[in-house]
Copies of this chain bind each other. A is one copy, B any other.
Amino acid sequence: MTNSPQTATAVACANIAFIKYWGQSDSGLTLPTNGSISLNLDGCLTETTVRCDPELERDQVWLALHGGEEMRASGRPYERVMAQINRLRTLAGSTMPVEVRSRNNFPSDAGIASSAAAFAALTRAAVEAFQLEVDERELSRLTRLSGSGSACRSIPAGFVEWYNDGTHQGSYAEQIAPSSHWALVDIVAVVNTQAKHVSSTHGHDLAPTSAYFPARLSEVPARLAEVRRAISERDLERLGVAAEADAMSMHVVAMTAQPPTMYWQPATLSVMQAVQRWRAQDNLHSYWTIDAGPNVHVICEAKDAPEVEARLCELSAVQWTIANGPGHEARLVG
């Protein structure tokens, strides 16, 4: 690469997994123990600028989280960003200092995949700034190496599967249906924005300590097939039943790990049960899923989204909602 300043800005979406990533077979390579399927969320975005500049005195990372003021990152957030920058800088044969500026528009560390959006945008922008030439598949592999494995699913657009055969080459994300395929809506019912007490990273480490982890892993292949078929046929019930069962299974593994980890809060249960009640009593077709945090994602078709969102907002457990359609790929905007 040249030694002249290079700047690139990328925007990436968070994503919600219908089949979850939980547990790693190789934490160094961020290889998951199972494949997963997700949808990009067009309302939960991170925008990241990477500037390589020989004039910079040293590497700098600036974060503006959830509309807050921009702050200089230090400690673990700084280290996680710089580890990924160093990986790509080495690959590009560059030694230029970098400045990273990143902002997101939704709560961080609360189970809304903020690190997925963040590391997808970071990797997309850095690859451009370092003038690396990679295809989408390789970009998703590089994104995965950031340690936020699910970030690789935010690289392609729309409905995405993260394949996994236990190798670096075979563990990448690919679109299985474009954004336009199905007007699905994911409404995040935000019940708490405090950072969770056990990080996803630590949760992955604990997964194998659960006696229930092997049973989860044996169930996943059939559920992946269910979800692929549901997406292909735009069958919400098939998708929703599988997604609820998979989310339950992931939380079961967390709750039975040693030590047990409970990501749910009372408000989480309120939302889950409200969704099930609306479905049973009012024939309102929506389904819940929950990542490693207390907030609930409610999935429905676009035609039902106004009703579902209005009802969620009426629940005392819900602070606010974020409605998302199918999102775009991690893309350059400058």
A contacts, CB < 8 Å to B? 211-212, 214-216, 218-219, 244-245, 248-249, 252, 255-256, 260, 262, 264-270, 272-273, 317
Contacts and interface: CB of A to CB of B under 8 A. Distances in A.
Chain A contact residues, majority secondary structure:
helix
Contacts of A268: 269
A266 B270 contact: yes
Contacts of A270: 266
Which of A249, A266, A272, A273 has the most C-beta atoms of chain B within 10 angstroms of its own C-beta? A266
A189 to B, nearest CB: 13
A256 B252 contact: yes
Given A212-B215, A214-B215, A218-B211, A265 B269 contact: yes
A131 to B, nearest CB: 49
Given A211-B218, A215-B214, A215-B215, A262 B255 contact: no
Given A215-B214, A264-B269, A255 B252 contact: yes
Nearest to A269: B266
Contacts of A249: 256
A248 B251 CA distance: 12
A245 B261 CA distance: 11
